Amino acid sequence: MPLKAAVYCRVSTDEQAQEGLSIQAQKEALHQYALSHGMEVVAEYIDEGESARTADRPQFQAMIRAAKQKPPPFEVILVHKGDRFARNREDAIVYKSLLRRECGVEVVSVLEPFDSSPTGRLMEGILEVMAEFYSLNLAQEVKKGMTVRASQARALGLCPFGLTVNDDGTLKHIPEEAAIIRWIFEEYCKEEMGLLKIAQFLRNQGPIVFGPAATKMKWSSIHIRNILKNPVYTGTFMWNRRAVSGKRQKWRDKKEWIVVENAVEPIVTTELFDKANAILRERRGRRSDNYGDYLLRGLVFCKDCGSSMSHYSMQWRNQNGVTIKHKLACTRYIHSKACYFNHVGLEELEQKVFSIIERELARQPADHYYVTYVPPSETQKQLNRLQTLVSSYDERLSRLITAFSAGVLDLKELKAGKEKLLAEKAEAEARLATLKQGLKGPPSWGPSQQPLVRRALEIIADSSMPPAQRRQALQTCLSRVLYSRRAGELEVILKLEPETLEPQEKPHL
């Protein structure tokens, strides 16, 4: 029978325009290689716009997961060149070793054919080292070029609102947009309009007051804040202030910043900029002082639109002094009014959530909330593997019949192969049914999880513990909370592995 092959193609963003590296060109070359070498292509994995400096590529990881199946759906992975697979020497060694030793899958570069001899392995390793050097050197050269460009105050990426680029790459004003920037600073410094009200005005009245320029942004409080904090509007160009790692950003040391004064004609004065930012700091400070690091921070979401729910406070004076009420409201509503005013008292919600965890631990659920569980990752992986395995048997049986029809197998071999497949399928179906049966019934924590939940509740209840530690304890048993004021629903999604996962009918608050 022909070898079963998977095809892996990749282009990074800056390589897509280079001749010979397009996805289509790679696919054609790989399919032609498979055909000429008697291989059957059974799967394709395509990563577009993904760098090979990291193995964290969606289709690459999907290919590795498929190869780990027992048996793997393919015996060889075809790549155009070795650097399509990985430009990181460590990744290349780890993944090729894993595929070869644990999965029985070889990686074949069609333009760099190496045999399994010591010389072949040596040449393959040399090319992998060269690919990694090329990648690291390219990154260094790009950073060097960007640094030179930034030191000349020339644009890098998209221009901020209100600015555009001259032919030499330097910045200049867009007069109609600059007028909006100037108005934002002036209105905010009057302290009569906050971020949200300014955004609302620009969305509703902006086109009337400022013309088409106001329609170029979908104004929200976040946009207004970013404008107020950008020093380029005072004429100062800054670059390399923040380092990005995944979704997180952190400030670099000021010695690494590139700052160019008088890079562009100022839209606002330094005094106006400083005043606006002082007001921003003061208002942010007031919010922080009013309420600190609350336990449900980052865990509550609007059930109607999926947005997070943010903290805000209300305060008023009475004969006993100042009363402050803390609430959570839909972030999308707060910033853009795109949702409705879905809000809930923070202390009230915290008490409900803690009560729900205690009730679930004691197996005394109430009827005023809805509890689901995050499926355990390992259990979900087993389910996925078994379902994929079961669904593959019909195709494998069809290939057996095709081989018999073509004269590759005789009747005895066909019968033996069919019996083996049916036995394997029955075993996989039995395992799948057993796993699913274990996930039925009312949800509850298993005996091994209960002590962990009890300890977490003790830490949560101890107000002397640091807030971050209490929240970390809460996150060991709570995944997230979904709230809908309109529907009167509270859904609490618990995190620790339950004995069962099937949800019950949704009751109302």
Which tokens hold the place of 127? 């090319």
Question: Quick one: pLDDT at residue 290?
Answer: 43
Q: What are phi and psi of 260, to 5 degrees?
A: -125, 110
Under DSSP, the state recorded for 2 is P
Residue whose pair of structure tokens reads 């999907």 in the numeric block: 62
Question: Quick one: pLDDT at residue 338?
Answer: 79
Question: Which of 172, 137, 131 lies closest to 265, judged by CA?
Answer: 172
Question: Quick one: pLDDT at residue 499?
Answer: 46
For the residues of 13-78, what is the DSSP string, one character each? Answer: GGGTTSTT-SHHHHHHHHHHHHHHTTEEEEEEEEEES--TTSS--HHHHHHHHHHTSSS-S-SEEE
Q: How far apart are CA 466 and CA 292, in angstroms?
A: 11
Residues comprising the chain, all counted = 509
Q: How far apart are CA 289 and CA 88, in angstroms?
A: 47
CA 249 from chain center: how many Å? 14
Count how many Cα atoms sit within 13 Å of the Cα of residue 245 in the half-sphere of its side chain.
4
Q: How far apart are CA 344 and CA 328, in angstroms?
A: 5
Question: Quick one: pLDDT at residue 138?
Answer: 56
Rounded to the nearest 10 degrees, the angle between the axes of helix 118-151 and helix 89-97 is 140
Which residues are CB-neighbours of 509 under 8 A, at least 6 positions away?
368, 369, 488, 489, 490
Which contiguous run of DSSP H or E holds residue 373?
A: strand 370-373
Cβ distance 74 to 105 under 8 Å?
A: yes
Q: How far apart are CA 109 and CA 83, in angstroms?
A: 9
Which tokens hold the place of 93? 């060694």
Q: What are phi and psi of 84, to 5 degrees?
A: -70, -35
Alpha-carbon distances of 212 from 23, 24, 180, 228, rounded to whole Å = 40, 42, 11, 21
Output the 3-class SS for 376-410.
Answer: CHHHHHHHHHHHHHHHHHHHHHHHHHHHHHCCCCC
Rounded to the nearest 10 degrees, the angle between the axes of helix 221-229 and helix 175-190 is 100
Question: Quick one: pLDDT at residue 140?
Answer: 66
Question: Quick one: pLDDT at residue 502?
Answer: 41
Which tokens hold the place of 380? 């979900």
**Sequential pLDDT tens for the chain (509 residues):** 788 999 998 887 554 444 446 788 888 889 989 988 889 999 999 888 666 566 678 888 889 888 888 888 999 999 887 777 776 655 666 677 778 777 888 888 888 655 455 555 555 555 555 555 555 555 566 667 677 777 777 766 678 898 888 888 788 889 999 999 999 999 999 988 888 889 889 988 889 999 999 998 888 888 898 899 889 899 888 877 776 654 556 777 778 788 888 888 899 999 999 999 998 888 765 544 445 568 888 889 999 888 889 888 776 666 666 677 888 999 888 877 778 899 999 888 988 888 888 887 777 766 666 676 655 555 566 777 777 777 777 777 777 777 777 676 778 887 888 888 888 888 888 887 776 665 554 456 667 777 888 888 888 877 777 777 888 888 888 888 999 999 888 888 887 554 444 444 444 44
Q: How far apart are CA 235 and CA 252, in angstroms?
A: 22
CB atoms within 10 A of CB 309: 29
Which tokens hold the place of 42? 């059974």
Instruction: List active site positions.
Output: 12
